[in-house]
Structures are given as C-alpha cells and as structure tokens.
Amino acid sequence: MKQGSLFGKRKHKCCQKAAVLLLTGVLALGMTACGGKEVSGSEVSSAAEVSSSSAVTSASSAAQSNQPVSSAAVSSETAASSAVTAHKAASPKAAKSKTAVKAGAADFSDAAMVGNSCVEGLNMQGLLPKMDFYSRVGLTVNTVFTKPMRGGSVPIMQALAQKQYKRIYFQFGENELGWNGTQPFYSAYAKVLDAVQKEQPGAKLYIQSILPVSAAVSEKNEEDTNNQRINEYNAVLQKLAKAKNAVYLDVASALKDESGCLPDEAAEDGVHLNQKYCKVWVQYLSNH
C-alpha cells in the first residue's frame, strides 16, 4: 500500500491581505464604542479565516528551523487579532461545543502532539497556541522514526526528544488502515510509545482514537479507509493504551453523527476537519 496517499491530500485557502483583518477589527470596535452595534457572525468568520490562512505560511517557516511547530508562532500578535478574538466570543453564531470547557483545562503549555496530516491541519487552525506540534502529512508509526517535519532535517522522534514534556498526545492510524491486519500496527505503535517513555519518563502519554470519515469516503473504501475498519483499529488502540499505561482518548465519539460517520459538513474531503470541527476536537481534549 502506498502510505498516506489519501490522508496526504490537502487543500489550501488563498491568503487575503492583513489589512482586511485589521480593518474588520477596527470597524467592529468603532461600532461598539459609538453605538453598541453588534458585529455579525459572518464578518467575524471572514476575519477569522484570514488569520487562519496566514498561519499556514508561519507554520512552514517555523518548521524550517527544526523546531516544534507551536501554534503561538502562527498566531498574529496584533490589535486586530485581539479584536477578532473578542468579537468571536460575543458573536451568537460562534461554533458551539458539545461540552463546556473545565476551568483551567485549556492550558497545553506542557504538552506536545505527534501525528499525521490530521494533526498538521489542527495546528494550522491556531486553536492550541501553547502546544508544540510534531507532524507530517502521511506520517505513520514506522516513518515517525525516519521522516522529519516539513522543512526539517532530523526525524520527528529525534526532534521530540530535544524537549521534555509532561503530556504527549499521539494521532496515528489513518495512514495504516491498509496494513495487513491490526497486529503489525499494534506492534509498531508500541515501539513508538516505548521509545518516548524511555526519553521522557515523566510524561503522560495519550493515544487518540482514529477519527471517523464521512459516509461517502467510507463507502468508497480507498485503501481500507472505512468506519468499520476504523472502529476495529480503535479497539486495538484501547488495548494498547492499557498495556502501556497510557490514556486512551475517544475523540471520535465527539465527532460522529448518529450513523457513526463524520458529518458531511465537518470536512470538505470527508477526512480532514474544518475549523468548526477542529474546535470540537480541542474542546474534547480540554475536558479530558
């Protein structure tokens, strides 16, 4: 099987000028100060998309220095960005999470996430500004030992060992669904956890479930990418977590619809989450 071919497909939005974001923030604040007029949800969403798009370029630049890609590096530290954040919080059309965030739970300054294109997409949304990311499109539990981050020069496992963390989150499995049975996946994943535990004995390890795909993608079943197969692999991940004294996080449960699939609205390609559903993912992590 050609690993990562399905989950390696990515689409990028065109970047708009930063002046649009600044203008949105300034106008919104001006209207609030003059008459308390509420900024529409569509205006806020548009400005947020500009900020998210600019994050892609910054993340790529950070990766070129062989450093973990932190979302803080891809967030704009400007007054306009602050204004957008404030308006998003006040907007009645802001994406609602399925559960409330526990107080203090959203600080991930002591955490890192390692994984494939799903992780890379999450990082680009800028929703976890204090977490470090070690990701690559098409990454597997085998290639994590040999492949660097995009623009990097050392393997991801080696890069991860250069900094100590209290929490490390893993996202693997999407690119391994076409492997010959679940045992090779289990064994290879176990080697990853053993290696990390050796280098970072004080870190708590979190194994995240493989995320569901849309009904259309599941039916197409390219390279065994279907929700039944994903459920089988997730059952294996639960056993692995127990065996390695890690925490299993059933992120998939927060993303599935009534039929057990990823909602069509959640991802343009039926696989990689858009911003709204990345927020659901982050919300789940914040509460677990």
| Tens-digit pLDDT profile for residues 42-84 | 343 444 343 444 443 444 444 444 456 554 444 433 333 343 3
How high is the pLDDT of residue 209?
98
Q: What is the pLDDT of residue 76?
A: 37
**pTM for this entry:** 0.67
Tokens of 241: 């977590």
Confidence (pLDDT) at 225: 97
Least confident of 5-19, 134-148, 151-165, 255-269: 5-19
pLDDT digits (tens, 9 = 90+) for 209-225: 999 999 999 999 999 99
Structure token digits, residue 247: 């925490």
- Give pLDDT, residue 68: 64
- State the sign of the Cα–Cα–Cα–Cα dihedral 158, 161, 162, 168: positive
H, E, C per residue of 133-169: EEECCCCCCCHHHCCECCCCCCEHHHHHCCCCCCEEE
* All domains of the chain in start order, with CATH: 18-89 (no CATH), 100-287 (3.40.50.1110)
**pLDDT at position 107, please?**
86
Instruction: Take residue 149 and report the two structure tokens written for it.
Output: 């981050």
State mean pLDDT over 12-39: 38
Residue 25 has pLDDT above 50, yes or no: no
Per-residue pLDDT, 77: 38
DSSP string, the chain: --TTTTTT----PPP--HHHHHHHHHHHHHHHHHH-PPPPHHHHHHHHHHHHHHHHHHHHHHHTTT--EEGGGGS--SHHHHHHHHHHHH-TTSPPPSSPPPTTTT--TTEEEEESHHHHHHHHTT--TT-EEEE-TT--TTGGGTPBPTT-SSBHHHHHTTS--SEEEEE--GGGTTSSSHHHHHHHHHHHHHHHHHH-TTPEEEEEPPPP-BHHHHHH-GGG-SHHHHHHHHHHHHHHHHHTT-EEE-THHHH--TTSSB-GGG-TTSSS--HHHHHHHHHHHHH-
Contact 236, 185 (CB under 8 A): yes
- Determine the average pLDDT of the residues in 3-8: 51
Cα 166 from Cα 189, distance rounded (Å): 20
Q: Which residues does 104 contact at the CB level (< 8 Å), separation at least 6? A: none
In this prediction, residue 179 carries a pLDDT of 97
pLDDT computed for residue 150 by the predictor? 85
Query: Residue 151: what pLDDT?
Result: 83
